Amino acid sequence: MNALIVAAGQGTRLRDKGPSKPLIPILGTPLIERVITSARRGGIEAFTVVSGYRGDELRAALDAFASRESLDIRHVINEDWERANGVSVYKAKGLFDGPFLLTMCDHLVDPAIVRDLLALSIEPNTVTLGVDTNLNNPLNDPEDVTRVKYVDGRIQKIGKVLKDYNAIDTGVFLCTPAMFDALETGFAEGDESISGAMNVLARWEKALVYEIQDRVWVDIDDPAAFSKTEQLIAAGKL
């Protein structure tokens, strides 16, 4: 299966660590290399990376990585990288005629999460989001997480300001091409985010959840999360 990795934004909160967020080294290895290696260990065979900000630099680094590790990495360029993250995903429309994994260049997860998602029986025209039901997970920033409300395995609502929620969005999705249809509808409604598309899918009763149980994941979005990630890697947990 192919993974679509969104790597187009600036990552301003980690600017002190390096000018290109995907290429910031964590214990000597660029972040995006760790994300790809983890997904590969989970069963992903090919990768599509959406680049934007400092894209030439990122694409050159990925080409060298692919050559060094015998990886299949193709590029999608998002010239509109300053817009919401759903635009980056939509740039890949037409490249997938079946299921694919969607993840972010700054979300590092236990490969078992990817493995379990790939093993799911896929309902037609659905998107399944990996969710963390541990709302007090110390690895998460409660002020910055994307919140999810789901019932009987189906998402009711998703967003950063939900007051009634029972899970946290891990940023890892098992998609069908229905994701692109949902993005189009979200765009028409004025929401260009991935969460906007998931809310559309929720209305269509096509947004599902997979509970990651106690598996480790981290959104490396600021210096505090960066430090936590270094500790997790050093301890062999990621």
Residues 220-237: what's their mean pLDDT? Answer: 95
Measuring CA to CA, which residue among 67, 191, 195, 176 is closest to residue 123?
Answer: 176
Residues 118-125: what's their mean pLDDT? Answer: 96
Residues 99-107: what's their mean pLDDT? Answer: 97
What pLDDT, on the 0 to 100 scale, is given for residue 141? 87
- What are the structural domains, with CATH classification, of the chain? 2-234 (3.90.550.10)
Residues 237 and 234: their CA atoms lie apart, in Å, by: 8
Q: Is the pLDDT of residue 104 over 90?
A: yes
Question: Mapping DSSP to helix (H, G, I), strand (E, B) and coil, where does residue 78 land?
Answer: coil
- DSSP type of residue 130: E
Contact 62, 31 (CB under 8 A): no
Spacing of C-alpha 209 from chain mean position: 14
Q: What is the pLDDT of residues 2-49, one digit of tens each?
A: 999 999 999 888 988 999 999 999 999 999 999 999 999 999 999 999
